[in-house]
Amino acid sequence: MSSVCGRKRRALVAEDDGCLRLLIEELLTRAGFGVTSVENGEKALEKLDEENFDILITDVQMPRMSGWELLKSLDVSRTPSKVIVMSGNPYLLESGCGEKPVVMLHKPFNNSEFLDMVCN
């Protein structure tokens, strides 16, 4: 299968909602990504210590470690080149993560809108 987004890339998904996590995995896989997914920020941080990823897609509100806490824990060498932060609560997206550049995505989202954000 050809990649929708060009070359094969690696994505890390941190999302505590199992159904949404599976949907995102499926969308990314169909777009040609290698996907690793976890259910919280702590596990995402562990994966980022073990592997390199081109993109990180994280929910804001998760148990154990939020998406914002995850991003604040990353140094420059471990931060993927693209970070998408998702939340169903627009106020949580507005709170931001300081200096780290991120793309904000409001849930629920349209699948094609999501893939546009991921691939561009």
- The whole domain housing 78 covers 9-119
Is the whole-model pTM more than 0.85? yes
Is 105 a member of any domain?
Answer: yes
Beta bridge partners of 105: 86
For the segment 24-40, the average pLDDT, to the nearest whole number, is 96
Higher pLDDT, 57 or 91: 57
CA dist 59 → 1, 70, 72, 92, 107 (Å) = 28, 10, 14, 10, 9
Query: Which tokens go with 34?
Result: 């290698």
Is the pLDDT at 99 greater than 90, yes or no?
Answer: no
Least confident of 4-8, 57-61, 89-93, 104-108: 4-8
Is 1 a member of any domain?
Answer: no
Looking at the structure of the chain, the number of domains it has is 1
Q: CATH no. for residue 59?
A: 3.40.50.2300
